[in-house]
Structure 1
Amino acid sequence: MTAPRHGAAVAPWLSIGRLADTVLPKLVLAPTIVACLVGFYGFIGWTAWLSFTESRLLPRYEWAGLIQYQELFANERWWTSMQNLAVFGGLFIAVSLLVGLVMAVLLDQRIRGEGALRTLYLYPMALSFIVTGTAWKWVLNPGLGLEKTLHDWGFTDFRFDWIVNPDMAIYTVVIAAVWQSSGFVMALFLAGLRGIDDSIIKAAQVDGAGLPTIYARILIPSLRPVFLSAFMILAHIAVKSFDLVMALTSGGPGFATDLPSIFMYQHGFTRGQLGLGAASAMMMLFTACAVVMPLLYSELRRERRG
């Protein structure tokens, strides 16, 4: 009688181990994947279908063509909200990138108290947009905040009534949004700067390049992927901005700070125009894709060529 070989006894256990390594990660990730497919892509598809129906208070699934989009494009308030989004989004993204980059460059000098300053800059991001909107509403209120305080101090000619001025109200939303998000952008840029090899900086210094030249010619151009990531995050925040505006101005005065997200919510959920709200939601998605997709495509092409 011959004893079984050691390899023959181990082989089944190796097969079971390999099977577990292959199947177990899929089983663990399966609930997340299913939830993402249903809760994200599934509801995008459901919203898209509703936008082609005559749904009002409750969903109706009979195909109605482009009637909701025609009504949407004929709605003056929709175009006002899109204009406001262009102003708000453009300024919010540009100013947040600029302020975040400047703060990151300053902190990159390894100044004393850097940890405290970094925490101070990042603190607004820990607040919800509701809190930010409420706080800035108090600050910008002419009868309660900054203007009244300066009047009490004797500066009676000072005026800062943007929040009640239809021509300037949208800029108060920009101020509040930049205050909350620029610290996060600073953290992204600072991480990018700290990730650059120090030998590149030392080589440039040996060649006689000054600090402004090093940042302008070497370090900042190296942050292209960080710029893209920050831009995408800020664009996403701008398109879906709702709670900040509702807490700060409620879309007013009039429709001066109305945004597509507010239009979608009010028509889809409070005015019994579910199909119109779905159409506006799809247009918001198309707007975000129109901004982000060309940038992603150009960046991927650049990486392939590089």
Structure 2
Amino acid sequence: MAYVTTNTGLAATGVPRRPGFREKLQDALPKIVLAPSFVLILLFVYGFILWTIYLSFSDATSAISNTFAGTRAYEKLWRWTFDPVQNWHTAIVNIGIFAVLYIAVCMALGLFLAILLDQKIRGEGVLRPIYLYPMALSFIVTGVAWKWFLDPGLGLEQTLHHWGWTSFHFDWIKNKDRSIYTVVIAGVWQASGFVMAMFLAGLRGIDSEMLKAAQIDGANAFQQYRRIIIPQLRPIFLSAFIVLAHMAIKSYDLVVALTGGGPGTSSWLPSNFMYEYTFQRAQMAVGSASAVIMLMGISAIIVPYLYSELREKK
């Protein structure tokens, strides 16, 4: 027996009451509010992704004028991957150097800082926001600041020369063989505090009773971290890796602000190659193909992670 609301209260009836206009509107209101955002995302994100994929299989020099050309653009990039003279080769080598060092150093430094703060040291409330502050800055601000700091005629080298250390030289930012490492330095400075916060949250969630039991069994601090604490941080390691890898692949503005891609094209990443060939050299097909390859790289990292997360929830 169902009950329906009437002006006089609850009445028993054998027929379920149909929802009124107000109830239908309340149910539909979230969909109505989200519909414009959904349509815009569908068009300007996924729609343009599909359009970029289409352009990568054309001979386009602009976003409008093009004819289908198969995999010609991908074949050209594949040849350039093994040709040290081509800029795509430089971008691929640089993304390998940058991604490996950026991820490894950020995770190692972030874990070290998290362990340091987890010792309940005095001034933790001051140190934690100091470490996190760089992440609040844009890559443009970070790049400009580190450009000034690493400029031999303006920053660190010039300052130490004024202090009397005239033998000190640090010209990596102007050295085509070392410029990519300055991008690593700036990127690590910005992201390591964020990784620290992730590890610190994981450390604070470890069961203290387990650590006390290990102490009673005679385990020292190093053994506790190696056998108990760090193994329990595996989800944090995975999450940090996913975030850092995603940031490394799509890094663009940090390179532009710090080195301008130079000297020459020595510090180009795939994102810089994509922008240059798409918008500056009117090779839309080649630029779109490089963008699709970047998308495939990000998807190869994100999709397995999302799949594992959804499977665990089920």
Structure 1 length normalisation: TM-score?
0.89
RMSD: 2.6
Instruction: Provide closer, same or farther for how the CA distance between residues 195 and 7 of structure 1 changes in structure 2, counting only shifts above 3 A.
Output: farther
Q: What is the CA deviation profile of residues 13-69 of structure 1, one whole-angstrom value per residue up to 9, with x for unaligned ones? A: 878787567544444433333333223222111110111112113423532211221
SS at 1:220 equivalent:
helix
CA distance in 1, matches of 2:297, 2:121: 41
Equivalent residues in 2 for 1:163-242, closer than 5 Å? 163-242=173-252
Question: Does residue 83 of the first structure (1) align with residue 123 of the second (2)?
Answer: no
Question: Does residue 7 of the first structure (1) align with residue 11 of the second (2)?
Answer: yes
Equivalent residues in 2 for 1:1-306, closer than 5 Å? 6-8=10-12, 12=17, 23-60=28-65, 62-75=67-80, 76-294=86-304, 303=312
CA distance in 1, matches of 2:227, 2:291: 42
CA distance in 2, matches of 1:199, 1:161: 51
Q: What is the CA deviation profile of residues 209-237 of structure 1, one whole-angstrom value per residue up to 9, with x for unaligned ones? A: 22222222111111111111111111111
Q: What is the CA deviation profile of residues 170-229 of structure 1, one whole-angstrom value per residue up to 9, with x for unaligned ones? A: 111100000000000001111111122322222322322222222221111111111111
CA distance in 2, matches of 1:16, 1:41: 35
Identical residues among aligned pairs (%): 56
More divergent stretch after superposition (230-239 vs 291-300): 291-300
CA distance in 2, matches of 1:292, 1:83: 22
SS at 1:6 equivalent:
strand
CA contact (8 A) 2:91 2:273 kept: yes
Instruction: Provide closer, same or farther for how the CA distance between residues 206 and 248 of structure 1 changes in structure 2, counting only shifts above 3 A.
Output: same
CA distance in 1, matches of 2:37, 2:271: 27
CA distance in 2, matches of 1:142, 1:57: 40
CA contact (8 A) 1:89 1:239 kept: yes
SS at 2:65 equivalent:
coil
CA distance in 2, matches of 1:13, 1:219: 57
Count of equivalent residues: 302
CA contact (8 A) 2:55 2:63 kept: no
Q: Unpaired segments of 5 or more residues in structure 1?
A: none
Instruction: Provide closer, same or farther for how the CA distance between residues 188 and 58 of structure 1 changes in structure 2, counting only shifts above 3 A.
Output: same
CA distance in 2, matches of 1:206, 1:300: 39
CA contact (8 A) 1:251 1:257 kept: yes
CA contact (8 A) 1:73 1:79 kept: no
Instruction: Provide closer, same or farther for how the CA distance between residues 7 and 300 of structure 1 changes in structure 2, counting only shifts above 3 A.
Output: closer
CA contact (8 A) 1:50 1:60 kept: no
CA distance in 2, matches of 1:20, 1:47: 39
CA contact (8 A) 2:173 2:182 kept: yes
CA distance in 2, matches of 1:96, 1:86: 15
- Residue identity opposite 2:105 in structure 1: V
1:90 Cα offset (Å): 0.7
Q: What is the CA deviation profile of residues 252-291 of structure 1, one whole-angstrom value per residue up to 9, with x for unaligned ones? A: 1122111110110011011211121111100111122334
CA distance in 1, matches of 2:60, 2:228: 55
Q: Unpaired segments of 5 or more residues in structure 2?
A: 1-6, 81-85
Instruction: Provide closer, same or farther for how the CA distance between residues 149 and 198 of structure 1 changes in structure 2, counting only shifts above 3 A.
Output: same
CA contact (8 A) 1:50 1:59 kept: no
- Residue identity opposite 1:103 in structure 2: L
Structure 2 length normalisation: TM-score?
0.87
CA distance in 2, matches of 1:168, 1:258: 12
